[in-house]
Amino acid sequence: MVPPREPAVTLRPALLLPLLLALGAAGVLAGVLIGSTGWADLGDTNMSVILWEIRLPRSLGAWWAGALLGMAGAMAQGLFRNPLADPYLLGSASGAGLAVALALALTGVSPQTSSLLARVGLTGIAFVGTLVGVGLTLVLARGVEQTLRLLLAGVVVGVVLNALTGLATLWAPDILRAMQAFLLGNTGLLGWNSVAVMAVCGLVAGVVGLLASPALDALTLGEATASSLGMRLGLMRLLLIGAFALATGAAVAQTGIVAFVGLVAPHLVRALCPMLHGWLILLSAAAGGALLLAADVLARALIRPQELPVGLVTALLGGVYLLVLMHRRKT
Evaluate whether 282 touches 206 at the Cβ level (below 8 Å).
yes
In a domain, 32, yes or no: no
How far is 217 from 208, CA to CA, in rounded Å? Answer: 15
What is the amino acid identity at position 244? F
Contacts of 297-303 with C-beta under 8 Å, sequence gap 24+, read 297/27, 297/30, 297/31, 297/34, 299/187, 300/34, 300/35, 300/36, 301/34
Residue 1 inside a domain? The answer is no
d(CA 315, CA 183): 12
What was the pLDDT predicted at 45?
65
Give bridge partners of residue 38 from the DSSP assignment: 35
pLDDT score, position 6: 42
| Local confidence pLDDT in tens for the 331 residues of the chain | 334 444 444 468 888 899 999 999 999 998 888 766 666 666 666 677 778 888 899 999 999 999 999 999 999 888 888 777 777 777 888 888 888 888 887 876 665 565 666 677 777 888 888 888 888 888 888 776 666 677 788 888 888 998 888 888 888 777 777 777 777 888 887 888 889 989 999 999 999 999 988 888 888 877 777 777 777 777 888 888 888 888 988 888 888 888 889 888 998 898 888 788 889 999 999 999 999 999 998 888 887 778 888 888 888 888 787 787 777 765 4
**Nearest-CA neighbor of 253 among 161, 129, 159?**
129
Q: Give the pTM.
A: 0.85
Q: Give the pLDDT confidence score for residue 40 in this predicted structure.
A: 64
Q: Between vectors from CA 181 to CA 177 and to CA 182, what angle results, nearest 5°?
A: 110
Range of the domain at 124: 54-328
pLDDT, residue 7, reads 44
Look up the CATH number of the domain holding residue 277. 1.10.3470.10
Q: Cα separation of 16 and 43, whole Å?
A: 36
| 26 within domain boundaries | no
In a domain, 40, yes or no: no
Instruction: Please report whether residue 236 resides in a domain.
Output: yes
Whether residue 66 lies inside any domain: the answer is yes
148 burial level (CB within 10 Å; 0-12, 13-18, 19+): exposed
Residue 180, domain member (yes or no) = yes
CB atoms near residue 1 (< 10 Å):
6
Q: Which amino acid is at 139?
A: V
Number of domains in the chain: 1
pLDDT score recorded for residue 9: 44
